[in-house]
Structure formats: structure tokens, C-alpha cells
Amino acid sequence: MLHEPVRNLLTNVRTLAIVCTQWGDTGKGKFVDFFADWADIIARGTGGANAGHTIVLNGVEHIFHLVPSGILYDGDGKLNIIGNGTVIDPHVILQELSLLRAAGLPYNHLLISLNAKLILPQHIVLDRVRERVWDKSIGTTGRGIGPAYEDYYGRTALVMNDLLNVDVFVAKLRRNLRDKVAFLAAVDPAIVHEIMQHEHLANGRYWSASTMFSEEAIVAAYRNYGQALYDHLADTDIILQRSVGKRNILLEGAQGHLLSVHYGSYPFVTSSDCSVRGLAQGVGLSERAVDRVWGIVKAFFMTRVGNGPFPTEFGNEESATWCATKGVTRTSEREHFGEVSVNDPNPFFQGVGVRMAAGEYGATTGRPRRTGWLDLPLLRYAVRTGCTDGLILTKLDSLDACTTIKLCTRYRYDGPDCWRGNYLLTNGSTLDVAIPEASILQHCTPLYQEFPGWCTPIGDIRKRSSLPCALTKLVRYVEQDIGKPAVILSVGRDREQTIVR
Ligand code: IMP
């Protein structure tokens, strides 16, 4: 049953999109789960197993990479769709389905687009080899995402439907492998061999000493995948197109606006368009079919996983380097530093403290997420270019113990003079709205405004009027600055820890 305030928010809405306005990991899972009650169809349209969403139900954590967060409502007859714009590793999805089976959760209404792109072993190898040999790596999740999208735009991709037609699969596979093998032939064979032993590559099953990839092994495995997924493959575009305006559709974004290949901190982005436009297109709809776009904002801090500029990062380079260090995890970090305060005077340690308080460790990779203050120039940019109607502020309770909150309100550009069309960006100039390209963002120094923290636990508060004054002031500041209402405030991980406007 929908509560009155949620019903009011959704008046006249048939298609709702929930997207992240930052670098991902803002808690989309919780809100897709929250609105799944309202939805008849839950669909995702971009990305692949690089995403990871955690849903807490009755205190038990569920982590999914490919299956939409709404799968837990399958038993209520809700349709869960993985759209044409995604890239799918069939092995991963089958693993997730077997997890659901083991937990006794049904997935009878899960449909995967016939035209979703296939991740093949060579994509994963290429992704991992590049990360190893490039001097400025992106810090990808190593799931083959970039190479799979490249193939799609390079017109050599395979799609899910090819799993059902072996001859077509084999012909396309051969063509696809040709240039990969040519590229990998220039790499130290020991590196390729080692990477192919990874569990995501079936522990070496696809390795061939003579041809590098065993076509036979790939065909055998993918033929089985086709049989196992047969009941779930469908023309999902048509289903969604026919449902617009008639059924409640929830579009679930993946990653975040600042990771979009079109709108993000290029080249430190993922290879799909994770904006609302890419999301709509990735499920076969026009963005005009979306009635409401709510953008999630982690507040009043931000996180980033992988490499790339992050102007407000606590401890700057030191933090980026630490978070990129192999083997650092939640447990090892705690063992290494002990308990760290969110008010530590040293910015690097303050970042560690915030990460620990907010539990910011990757669901997909387990990596520590880089942490920093909320960056309004980036948020202004994301909201402006992302058609955002309202904001969902998440993880507010994480900074309960913080005595001072800093908001980045502007940047000072500290880089070399740089032409932007006929406008010259000069050293020392200030920027209100971020220019997200990495070559510029990396030279932006944040200028902060300080606010007193609220310094009290807020996890049990359910009404906006009961929030501490200091927090209300901050929320209002952001609403006014961005010019969009904060429709929902999240004060904890559980479904109930949600304040609706
Ligand atoms: P890829 O998507 O694996 O190619 O990685 C490209 C960049 O996007 C890297 O910086 C990743 O850390 C980042 N990335 C990809 N998926 C996610 C996500 O779900 N959350 C946060 N960052 C992500």
C-alpha cells in the first residue's frame, strides 16, 4: 500500500525515472525498491555487471549486478525488464538467478531484451589487459563493459538473440574475435594467459595455446546459456512502448550522470549513456515518454570509484592513491587505521572516517570509494543537463557526527589557459557550473561555504518538520541553489527510514 505522501508525489505520473546525478553508488537500489510497490514494470536500460545494487529487506542484504532491483516484487506479478541498451554477461545473470532460486525468490516475470548486447570472454580480457598496460588507466570494474560497447558502435557486436541461433553466433563470434586476437598478439602472452585464469573467465576454460581463445569452448558455454535463458528473452521494446501511459513504469538508472559517456568526466567515464536519455533509449522509449525524473544526490558528501578528477576529494591525491591500492577493503582498512573520526583535522583521515561511517565500499569490486564534500558546481551541471525534476537526498544520517559541513559552491580554475570555443578560460577565473571534462575538472579548486553540522542521530525521524534546524538549513540551501525540490530525504538504509515531502 502506498502512503498518502508518496501517492501525492506520483499524481499524474505513469513513467518515473530514478537516476543518479553523481558518480554512482548513491543508493538507487533503495528507491527503486521503494517505488516498486507503485510500479507495474521495472526496467533498466544501460550498463551491465559493472553496476551493483544492495537492497536490505528484513535486515538481509541482497546484492545484484544485472537483475533489476524490482525482482524482489516478482511474486506480485511485476514485470522486470533488462533493456536493449545493456551489455549482458550471461554467466553473471545465471548466477544471480540461481541465488534467487536458492533464496526461494521467484523470477518468473524477468525479461531480457533480444537486442541487449552480449559480453563475451574477449571483452573481459581486453578490458583487463588495457587496465594493466595503459599508463593512465580508467580504473574500470573489469567486467568487459567498454569493449562490448565499442563493438556495438564498431558494428561487430553479438546480441542476446544470437544465443538462440548457433550458426549466426559462430559466424559473428569468428569475426569478432579476429581483431581482438590481432590486438592481444602484441601483448605479453603471459599477461593474457594469467588474466584468462580469472573466475569471470571460467578459470581458463576459454584459453587456447594455439589460437588464444578456444572458439569451441566459447560456443559450448554460450549455447548452454542460450538454453538456460530461453524463457526470459523477449522483444521488450514493444512491451514498454505499448505500456506507456497505460501501466506504471519505473526506469532504473545505472551508474550516474557524471559517468555517462556523453555527459560525464570524459574520458574517466563508463561506456554507456547513464543519463535519463540513455536510460529511456535503452529500454526502447523516447525521453518524452518519461513523466518525471528524480535525481539522486548523496548528501552532503560524494563518492567516486575508479580514477578521474574529483575536486572536493578529502585528501586529494593521497586518497585517490590509497583507494586505488590493490587489496584495500573494508576490513583491511579498519585493521590498518582503527576507528577514524568524521571530524579528523587531517582531510585524508576525515575521508577515511566518512567512508567508514557511511560504509562506502564497492558492491561490485569491494574497493574503498573515494570520498569528498558535496560539489554544487557539478550538481548544477548534472541537473541542468539531466532534465531533473526533483532531488532525492540520500545517506543524510552518515554525517550525523560531523561538527562542520562544507559545501563546494564554486571553483577556482588553476590550470593553463584553455579555449572553450571562442571563450578563453584563464588561470584564476571562477566557475559556478562545472565543465566536466577531465582535462578541465582536474584543475578546479573547490571554494567552500561552511555550515554547522546537526550533531544528533536522525535515523528515527520520519517528518521533515522534526529534522534538526542545522540540517533543514542545509537542505533548503541546496534546494534554492539548484532550483529543484528535495522530494525525498533518506535517513537510513531501511525502507522506513525515508521522509517524503
Ligand atoms: P567500467 O564501467 O567498468 O568500464 O568502468 C568505468 C568507470 O566507471 C570506472 O571508473 C568505474 O569505477 C566506474 N563505474 C562503473 N560502474 C560503476 C558503478 O556502478 N558505480 C560506481 N562507479 C562505477
**For the segment 147-202, what is each residue's pLDDT rounded down to a tens digit?**
999 999 999 999 999 999 999 999 999 999 999 999 999 999 999 999 999 999 99
Residue with CA at minimum distance from ligand 1 atom 8? 270
Output the pLDDT for position 7: 84
**Cell, residue 443:** 584543475
* Ligand 1 site, residue 138, Cβ cutoff 6 A: yes
* Spatial separation of the C-alpha atoms in residues 166 and 150, rounded to whole Å: 23
For residue 302, give the nearest of 20, 55, 69 by alpha carbon: 20
55-89 per-residue burial string, b: 16 or more CB within 10 A, e: under 16: beeeeeebebbbbbbbbbbbeeebbbbbbbbbbbb
**CB of 260 shorter than 6 A to ligand 1:** no
- Ligand 1 pocket: which of 305, 365, 367, 369 to mutate (most atoms <8 Å of CB)? 305
What is the pLDDT averaged over residues 59-67? 79
What stretch(es) of the chain map to CATH 3.40.440.10?
13-114+236-297
Q: Is 65 in the pocket of ligand 1 (CB under 6 A)?
A: no
Looking at the predicted structure, is the pLDDT value of residue 476 above 90?
yes
pLDDT in tens, 254-295: 999 999 999 999 999 999 999 999 999 999 999 999 999 999
Quick one: pLDDT band at residue 214, thresholds 50, 70, 90?
Answer: very high
Minimum-distance ligand 1 atom for the alpha carbon of 259: 8
Question: Please, where in the chain does CATH 1.10.300.10 lie?
Answer: 118-229
Q: Check whether 24 has a pLDDT greater than 60.
A: yes
In this prediction, residue 69 carries a pLDDT of: 84
Distance 305 CA to ligand 1 centre (A): 7
Ligand 1 centroid, distance to 385 Cα (angstroms) = 20
> Which of 125, 140, 152, 265 maximizes ligand 1 atoms within 8 Å of its Cβ, making it the mutation to test the pocket?
140
> What is the CA(270)–ligand 1 centre distance, in A?
6
Question: Cβ(306) to ligand 1 under 6 A?
Answer: yes
Cα dihedral sign, 231-232-237-239: positive
Closest CA to 84 of 231, 258, 283: 283
Pick the CATH number of 118-229 from 2.60.40.1180, 1.10.300.10, 3.90.1150.10, 2.40.110.10: 1.10.300.10
pLDDT at 487 over 80: yes
pLDDT-derived band of residue 435, with 50, 70 and 90 as boundaries? Answer: very high
Q: Assign residue 283 a region: left if phi > 0, alpha if psi is -120 to 50, beta otherwise?
A: alpha
53 is annotated as an active-site residue? yes
Which of 123, 143, 270 has most ligand 1 atoms within 8 Å of its beta carbon, as the pocket-test mutant? 270
Please give the pLDDT value at position 103: 84
Q: Is the pLDDT of residue 56 over 70?
A: no
C-alpha distances out from residue 225 to 89, 104, 317, 445, Å: 10, 22, 43, 49
> Exposed, middle or buried: residue 392 (CB in 10 Å: 0-12, 13-18, 19+)?
buried
Global pTM value: 0.96
22 DSSP assignment? S
Of 33, 53, 74, 109, the catalytic one is 53
Rounded average pLDDT over 303-330? 95
- Give the pLDDT of residue 55: 59
Separation of CA 296 and ligand 1 centre (Å): 17
Share of the chain above pLDDT 70, in %: 98
- pLDDT, residue 1, reads 62
Condensed to tens digits (0 to 9), the pLDDT of residues 352-405 reads 999 999 999 987 777 899 999 999 999 999 999 999 999 999 999 999 999 999
Measured in whole angstroms, the distance separating CA 83 from the mean position of its chain's CA atoms is 16
Asked if the model's pLDDT at residue 90 lies above 60, the reply is yes
**For domain 13-114+236-297, which CATH number applies: 3.40.190.10, 1.25.40.80, 3.40.440.10, 3.20.20.70?**
3.40.440.10
What residue owns the CA closest to ligand 1's atom 12? 306
pLDDT at 429 over 70: yes
* CA-based end-to-end distance of the chain: 18
Packing angle of the helix pair 145-153, 121-133 (nearest 10 deg)? 110
Q: What is the mean predicted confidence (pLDDT) over 477-483?
A: 98
What average pLDDT does the structure give for the chain?
A: 94
